[in-house]
Chains A and B, each alone.
Chain A
Amino acid sequence: MAELQFREAIREAIDEEMSQDENIFIMGEEVAEYDGAYKVTEGLLDKYGLKRVIDTPISELGFAGIGVGAAMNGLRPIVEFMTWNFAVLAADQILNHASKVKYMLGGQVSVPIVFRGPNASAGQLGATHSVAYDSMYAQFPGLAVIYPSEPDDAKGLLKSAIRNDDPVIFMESEQMYGLKGEVSEEDDYTIEIGKAKVKREGDDVTVVATGKMYHIAKQAANQLAKDDVEVEIIDPRTIKPFDIETVIESVKKTNRCVIVDEAHPFGGMASEAGFLIQREAFDYLDAPVQRVTLPDVSAPFSKKLFDLWLPDAKNVIDAVNAVTYRN
C-alpha cells in the first residue's frame, strides 16, 4: 500500500488509463497550463501534451456537449468541472443527451464519458457553490454516479469509470483533495462500480454514508464507541447503482439504521435507501430508519449559520441515539 492524497489517487487513475488508451483525453477549465484548479491534473500536460490535456473556456454547456459528441464518435473523454455546482449549466448535455442518446437512437451509439469534479459544500462559499448533486444525477436512468470517500476507493473506481462504456458521474470534494489514505499498489487496480464497502464493523447500528459524510460518520462512530455503541459503517461509494443488498444484510444484523446524506432531504439517497430498507427489512427494524441531511434551505455564508447547516458528527450521534432509544 502507498499513502496518497485523494488528488494523487485520482491523478494516478487518469494517468494510468491515459497511458493505456490513446482515445482518452481530459478537458476542462484550467486542467492544462494551470495544472488543475485543485492540482488534480498536475503534470498531465507535460506528459500527454496539448492534444490530450485541453484547457476549455468557461463554457460548461459547450464543452460538456463537445465531450458527448466526441464520445459518440469513438473517443473516451474525461470532462472535468471545476465544481458540480457549475455543471448545472451543462445539465442539458448530461441529462438530455449523455444519458439518453443511446436509448433514443435504439442503441446505435455509445457514450463512454466521465464527467468529474468536486461536489457539495467546500466551506463558506455561499448558496450557489455548496450543493450536493449526487442524488439528482442518480434520478436519471443511464448514468452511474460515484462519490467516493477515500483515496483507495477513488483510484479503483475512477479507473473503472474511465473504462466504462456508458456515462459516469464521478464526484470528489474540494475539502478531501488533501486527504491522505492507503491506496492499493496492485497492478491495474480497479473496483467494481456499484459495490458498497463495510468500512467499520459493529453490531448496534448501521450507518450509511459516502463522500465527505463518511468522515463525519466515522467521527461519530469513534465517539459512540466510548459509550459502547458499536456502529457499522457502510460506504456505498456509488450512489447508482446503489448496493442495497450490503445495506440490508447489515440492517438485518443491527436492526437499526441511520443514513447520512449531504444532499437536501427531499428525494435523495437517504430517502431512497430508507424506502428500500423498510420494504426489504421491515420485520428486522427495531426503530424507524433515521436520516441526517442538509436542511431544506440554501447554504448560508455566515460561519455560525453554516456550521448549523452542514451535518456534523453530533447530528449523526443524535440520530444514532434516536434509533437506539438512548435519548
Chain B
Amino acid sequence: MAKEKKEAIFAPTGLKNSNNGKIDKSVDLPDVTEKKHDDLGLSDDDVVKMFELMYLQRRFEERAMQMYQKGKFGGFLHLYIGQEAVSTGTVFALNDDDDIITAYRDHGWGLVRGVTAKEGMAELYGKVTGCSKGKGGSMHFAKAENHFWGGYGIVGGHIPIGGGIAFANKYKENDRVTACFLGDGAVDQGSLHETLNMSQLWKLPCIYVVENNGYSMGTAASRHTVGEIHERAKGYGMKSAVFNGMDAFTVYENMKKISDDVRKEGLPYFVEVRTYRYRGHSMSDPGTYRTKEELQEYQKIDPIERMKSYLLDEKIIKQGKIDEIQDGIEDEVLEAIDFAEESDFPDDDALYEDMFTGTPYIHDKQ
C-alpha cells in the first residue's frame, strides 16, 4: 500500500491550528514569592515608590500611545505595558551604579533609571529637550550618567555590548554588576551565544535577562525557539534562573539574590523572566496571532493592580493616598506632553552634531 504523502512543514503552526480554541498561554508563569515586603528587606516607602514607578511607566505609555495615534510624532512605538514589574523590581535590586542595557522596548527602563517623563516624552516627539536630544527616538532612550546605557534597535545587537560594559567593570575592578535585558526573540540570535560563551569563559560580571513576554513580534515563543529558554545556560555551564515577571516582589527577590551572587562570585548568570506584553509588538500590530482570552488571562494578574491591592491589604497606605499618587502621576505625564509639544525641535546645525567626540569629519559637507 502506498504511504500517505505528507506535506513538508517547517515552522510550527500558530493560532489557527492550536488546541481547538483552548487558551494556549505562550508563557507559563512560575509561582510568585510568598514573602512580604519586610521579609524581603523592603520598607513601606520602597513599596509605595515601586507602585509609583510602575504606575508612571503605565500612564506614560498609555498617554504616549494616544499621542502617537493622534499623529503627534512618528517612528516606531514599542510599548512595555504589562512588563513593568521587571524594570521596577530590578532597579530596586541593583545598586544605583550597576549598569543596565536593554533592547528597543525601553521606555520603562529609562523611566526607572532617571529619564524624566518630560525627557522621555520629548524624545518621542523628536525634540531637543529629549533624553537623547531627539536623535534616538522611542528605541534609543538612555541616561548614561545614571548607568542606563540605552535602548537598542537591532535585535541581539546590544547583547555583546552589555558583555563589554561588564568587561570594563571587571577590568577596572569597580564591583559593578551589569544587567543586560533582551526579549525572547533575541534568544535566537547568534550574538547571544557568542556572548554567553565569552562571558562564562572570561568570568564577566553580567546578568543576561530574557524578558520572555511570549512573542517574538508575532511569533509565539514555542514557534521560534526550541526547549526552555533558561536551559540554554546549561550549554555554557552558566548559572541560571527562571521566575515570574508579573510580580515586582518576585523580580526584586530574585534579582537581588542573583546580583549579589554575580558581585560575589564574579561569574555571569542567565535568567528567564516570564512576563507578558498587553499591547502589540509595535503600534502597527494587528494582534492576529493571539486570542483576546489569552490577553485577559494576563491582565487579571496585572502587576500594578497586584501592587495596589498589596498596599491596601497590608494597610501601608489608604485608597485616598493611592488616588493622590495616581493623580500626581497623571499630572506629571500631562505636563510632560505639554513640555514635549512646547519644546523646540533641534536646530538645523544639530544634524551634524554628536557624531564625534574628537575632531569631527563630515565628508563633502557643503
Contact = CB atoms under 8 A, between A and B. Distances in A.
Given A97-B157, A105-B132, A105-B136, A66 B357 contact: no
B170 to A, nearest CB: 9
Contact of B363 (A57, A93, A242): A242
Nearest to B162: A69
B195 A106 contact: no
A4 B362 CA distance: 34
Given A74-B168, A96-B157, A240-B361, A66 B198 contact: yes
A54 to B, nearest CB: 8
B354 A57 contact: no
Interface centre among B145, B164, B197 (most CB of A within 10 A): B164
Interface in A95-117: 96-97, 101-110, 112
Interface in B95-117: 99, 101
A226 to B, nearest CB: 38
B161 A103 contact: no
Contacts of B167: 66, 69-70, 73, 75
A65 B362 CA distance: 25
A85 to B, nearest CB: 18
A263 interface: no
Contacts of A68: 160-161, 164
Contacts of B363: 138, 141, 240-242
A108 B144 contact: yes
B168 A65 contact: no
B103 to A, nearest CB: 13
The B contact surface, by secondary structure, is mixed
B357 A105 contact: no
B69 to A, nearest CB: 25
Nearest to A64: B160
A70 B294 CA distance: 42
Interface residues of A, number: 48
B188 to A, nearest CB: 14
A285 interface: no
A104 B154 CA distance: 13
A96 B156 CA distance: 12
Nearest to B123: A106
Given A106-B136, A108-B144, A109-B144, A61 B160 contact: yes
Given A72-B165, A108-B132, A65 B160 contact: yes
B340 interface: no
Given A69-B160, A69-B168, A73-B168, A103 B354 contact: yes
Contacts of B163: 62, 65-66, 69
A63 B197 CA distance: 11
Contacts of B149: 72-73, 109
A301 B190 CA distance: 30
Nearest to B206: A69
B234 interface: no
A274 interface: no
Contact of B154 (A75, A92, A194): A92
Given A110-B357, A240-B361, A105 B135 contact: yes
A259 B249 CA distance: 66
A165 B357 contact: yes
A70 B172 CA distance: 10
Contact of A25 (B143, B150, B171): B171
Contact of B132 (A74, A106, A166): A106
Contacts of A74: 168, 172
A68 B161 CA distance: 6
Contact of A70 (B150, B165, B354): B165
A103 B165 CA distance: 19
B131 interface: yes
B251 interface: no
A207 interface: no
B357 A103 contact: no
B355 interface: yes
A109 B136 CA distance: 13
A108 B111 CA distance: 17
A164 B198 CA distance: 27
A74 B166 CA distance: 11
A234 interface: no
A279 to B, nearest CB: 9
Contacts of B168: 69-70, 72-75
A61 to B, nearest CB: 5
A92 B156 CA distance: 10
Contact of A105 (B140, B202, B362, B364): B140
Nearest to B167: A70
B195 A65 contact: yes
Interface string B162-184: 11111111011000000000000
Interface of A: 25, 51, 54, 56-57, 59, 61-75, 92-93, 96-97, 101-110, 112, 138, 141-142, 144, 164-166, 194, 240-242, 276
7 contacts: A54-B202, A65-B191, A71-B164, A72-B168, A104-B135, A106-B131, A110-B357
Given A69-B101, A71-B164, A105-B150, 20 more contacts: A56-B198, A59-B194, A61-B160, A61-B191, A65-B195, A66-B161, A69-B163, A73-B149, A73-B165, A92-B157, A97-B152, A104-B136, A105-B135, A106-B135, A108-B143, A109-B149, A138-B363, A141-B362, A142-B356, A166-B357
Interface of B: 99, 101, 130-136, 140, 142-145, 149-150, 152, 154, 157-169, 171-172, 190-191, 194-195, 197-198, 201-202, 353-358, 361-364
